[in-house]
């Protein structure tokens, strides 16, 4: 009896491990589409190097989604876009694919940027030069420690002007992003100037190179990240030199909407 029981049990278990046998086609019956149980993968998913968030109903999330207490942002087509501003820090596990490039000799002595934006930037700068303008990169990727130094120097500047420490930090933060909240830490932002005007002030907007960049940057996937009159949304003063790579699709959306990144993402639901 025991032997028969063990044999039956083994046969049962083996059947359980194998894939269910396909039903043999029966030519006497009409073909009916099999009912395949579908399971939707929800949450954050990576596809072709991009990150998406799939809702419970299978749709792609757009706009802001809070995941584990942290705000994430997604474009109209569902791709995640990193938003870094005074209210959103660089993600603690962010790991840019940094590349040091020296073939920009005519633009800078060497820079470090995330790999994804190097080719579009090179193309934009070449076209700008070919259009007859002289452009230079003055800032690209920054490490946390570099951002801390820049920020502390700016705080010192305001302290020397007679501000108290709270006010000095507040004013410094509008000009130099608080460490951990600078887009330069993403490796996706560059400060570009017209070589004939080596100052980071509003005078940049009147220079020929800057006019060309503002008009064409979106065509290469870049945006002027801190436009005039948008400080309340971006948290940063008008900077007609700071360009952020967001990809062609989003850059075009932003260009057409006339909104800054924060405002635009707010409109997506």
Report how many residues bind Zn ion under the rule CB under 5 A.
Answer: 2
Whether 266 sits among the annotated catalytic residues: the reply is no
In angstroms, the CA 267 to CA 269 distance is 6
CB of 139 to Zn ion, least distance (A): 5
Nearest CB to Zn ion, comparing residues 61 and 254 = 254
d(CA 112, CA 249): 24
Given CA atoms 113, 171, 179, 61 in this order, what sign does their dihedral have? negative
If one asks whether residue 154 binds Zn ion (CB under 5 A), the answer comes out as: no
User: Does the footprint of Zn ion cover residue 244 (CB under 5 A)?
Assistant: no
Q: Alpha-carbon distance 245 to 261, whole Å?
A: 12
Provide the minimum distance between the beta carbon of 142 and Zn ion in the complex, in angstroms, as a whole number.
Answer: 9
What's CA 126's distance to the chain center, in Å? 24
**DSSP-assigned letter for residue 68:** T
Stretch that binds Zn ion, among 5-13, 56-64, 237-245, 253-261 (CB under 5 A): 237-245
Q: Residue 4, Cα to own-chain centre: how many angstroms?
A: 64
CB 184, min distance to Zn ion, A = 6
- Full 3-state SS string of 49-64: CEEEEECCCCCECCEE
The answer for residues whose C-beta is within 8 angstroms of residue 249's C-beta and 6 or more apart is: 75, 77
Q: Which one of the spans 113-121, 127-135, 145-153, 242-250 is the region binding Zn ion (CB under 5 A)?
A: 242-250
Nearer to Zn ion, 61 or 108 (CB): 108
Q: Does 146 bind Zn ion (CB under 5 A)?
A: no
Looking at 62, 142, 154, 242, which residue binds Zn ion (CB under 5 A)? Answer: 242
Cα–Cα distance measured from residue 109 to residue 255, given in angstroms and rounded to the nearest whole number: 31
Q: Under 8 Å CB-to-CB from 153, ≥6 apart: which residues? A: 176
Helices (H), 161-235: 165-175, 208-216, 231-234
Q: Does 175 bind Zn ion (CB under 5 A)?
A: no
Decide if residue 191 touches Zn ion (CB under 5 A). Answer: yes
Closest residue to Zn ion, judged by C-beta, is 242
Q: Which stretch binds Zn ion (CB under 5 A): 43-51, 84-92, 127-135, 235-243?
A: 235-243
Judged by beta carbon, residue 191 or residue 262, the one nearer Zn ion is 191
Rounded Cα gap, residues 72 and 121, in angstroms: 26
Binding track over 49-88 against Zn ion, x by CB under 5 A: ----------------------------------------
**Of 239, 253, 262, 263, which one is the catalytic site residue?**
239
The reply on whether position 230 binds Zn ion by CB under 5 A is: no
262 binds Zn ion (CB under 5 A): no
- How far apart (Å, rounded) are the C-alpha atoms in residues 153 and 160? 11
Tell whether residue 127 is a contact of Zn ion (CB under 5 A). no
Q: Which is nearer to Zn ion, 61 or 172 (CB)?
A: 172
What amino acid positions are annotated as catalytic residues? 239
Residues that bind Zn ion (CB under 5 A): 191, 242
């Amino acid at each position: 009896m025991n032997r028969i029981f063990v044999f039956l049990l083994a046969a049962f278990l083996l059947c359980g491990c194998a894939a269910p046998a396909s039903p043999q086609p029966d030519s006497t019956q009409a073909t009916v589409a099999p009912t395949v149980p579908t399971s939707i993968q929800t949450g954050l998913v990576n596809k072709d190097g991009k990150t998406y968030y799939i809702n419970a109903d299978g749709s792609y999330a757009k706009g802001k989604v809070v995941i584990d207490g942290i705000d994430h942002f997604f474009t109209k087509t569902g791709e995640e876009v990193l938003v870094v501003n005074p209210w959103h820090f660089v993600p603690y596990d962010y790991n840019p694919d940094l590349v040091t490039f020296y073939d920009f000799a005519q633009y800078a002595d060497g820079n470090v940027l995330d790999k994804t934006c190097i080719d579009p930037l090179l193309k934009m700068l070449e076209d700008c030069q070919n259009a007859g303008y002289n452009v230079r990169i003055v800032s690209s990727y920054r490490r946390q420690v570099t951002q801390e130094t820049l920020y502390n120097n700016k705080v010192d500047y305001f302290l020397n002007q007679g501000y108290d420490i709270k006010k000095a930090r507040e004013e410094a933060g509008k000009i130099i992003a608080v460490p951990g909240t600078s887009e330069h830490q993403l490796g996706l932002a560059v400060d570009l100037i017209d070589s004939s005007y080596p100052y980071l002030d509003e005078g940049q907007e009147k220079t020929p190179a800057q006019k060309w960049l503002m008009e064409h940057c979106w065509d290469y996937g870049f945006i002027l990240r801190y436009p005039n009159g948008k400080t309340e949304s971006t948290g940063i003063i008008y900077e007609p030199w700071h360009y952020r790579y967001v990809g062609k699709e989003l850059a075009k959306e932003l260009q057409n909407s006339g909104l800054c990144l924060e405002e635009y993402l707010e409109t997506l639901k």
